[in-house]
């Protein structure tokens, strides 16, 4: 079942997001199972909103690519986000 994930970071902003995307070669190298992706800042803090085919797809992406990219881009400033997960009834893409 598709899942919606909201990732809230306490001490990161959009510049950190952009640096991580460069390290991932994202969006050119689109992760398997990612249906939709968005980012914004809320009160100066980074928030990422995703729709994934499954939580397993997201977890695999984190383990195989995201953790090392964040480390490369941010070094000791890397942090774990607060993750909010919601089962999605529908996901429509063109």
Task: Please state, in angstroms and rounded to a whole number, the distance separating the CA atoms of residues 24 and 33.
Answer: 16
Question: pLDDT digit string (tens) for 47-71?
Answer: 999 999 999 999 999 999 999 999 9
Three-class secondary structure of residue 74 per DSSP: helix
Instruction: Please name each of the domains of the chain with its CATH number.
Output: 3-87 (3.30.70.100)
Q: What is the pLDDT of residue 45?
A: 97
State the sign of the Cα–Cα–Cα–Cα dihedral 67, 73, 45, 87.
Answer: negative
Task: Locate all alpha helices (DSSP H) within the chain, ordered by sequence.
Answer: 14-24, 55-61, 67-74
Task: Locate all alpha helices (DSSP H) within 2-91, ordered by sequence.
Answer: 14-24, 55-61, 67-74
- Which structure tokens are listed for 66? 């995201």
CB-side neighbour CA atoms (13 Å) of 81: 20
Q: What is the pLDDT of residue 21?
A: 98
Q: What is the pLDDT of residue 94?
A: 85
């Amino acid at each position: 079942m598709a899942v919606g994930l909201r990732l809230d970071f306490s001490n990161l902003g959009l510049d950190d997001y952009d640096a991580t995307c460069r390290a991932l070669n994202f969006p050119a190298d689109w992760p398997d199972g990612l249906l939709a992706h968005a980012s914004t800042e809320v009160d100066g803090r980074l928030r990422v909103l995703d729709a994934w085919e499954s939580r397993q797809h997201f977890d695999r992406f984190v383990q195989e690519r995201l953790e090392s990219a964040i480390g490369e881009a941010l070094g000791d400033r890397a942090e774990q986000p607060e993750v909010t997960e919601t089962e999605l009834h529908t996901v429509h893409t063109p």
